[in-house]
Amino acid sequence: MQTGELSAGAPSPMAMRRLAAVDDQIRSLAAQRVDLNCSRCGYGIVSREPPERCPMCGTTPVWVEQSQPPSQPAAL
């Protein structure tokens, strides 16, 4: 194998631990975001914190959390 080439073998245990740590960080960040809709105009956002005003209608709405959409089958 020449310098700079990747091995076709399995990743090392250290690489697997690093990948698992990155995966955990990504999942943690994604879990902190919520899908919200403006109660006045219905504008939707995904954010960690709701904004003070709706970017679409400019009002100070009550932000309504959207439930997760049902799983859809993969397109063929």
Q: Domain segments of the chain: what residues?
A: 34-66
pLDDT tens-digit profile of 38-65?
A: 999 999 999 888 889 999 999 988 899 8
Q: Give pTM, 2 decimals.
A: 0.48
pLDDT over threshold 90, residue 22: no
Contacts of range 31-39, beta carbons closer than 8 Å, 24 or more positions apart: 34/65, 35/65, 35/66, 35/68, 36/63, 36/64, 36/65, 36/66, 37/63, 37/64, 37/66, 38/63, 38/64, 39/63, 39/64
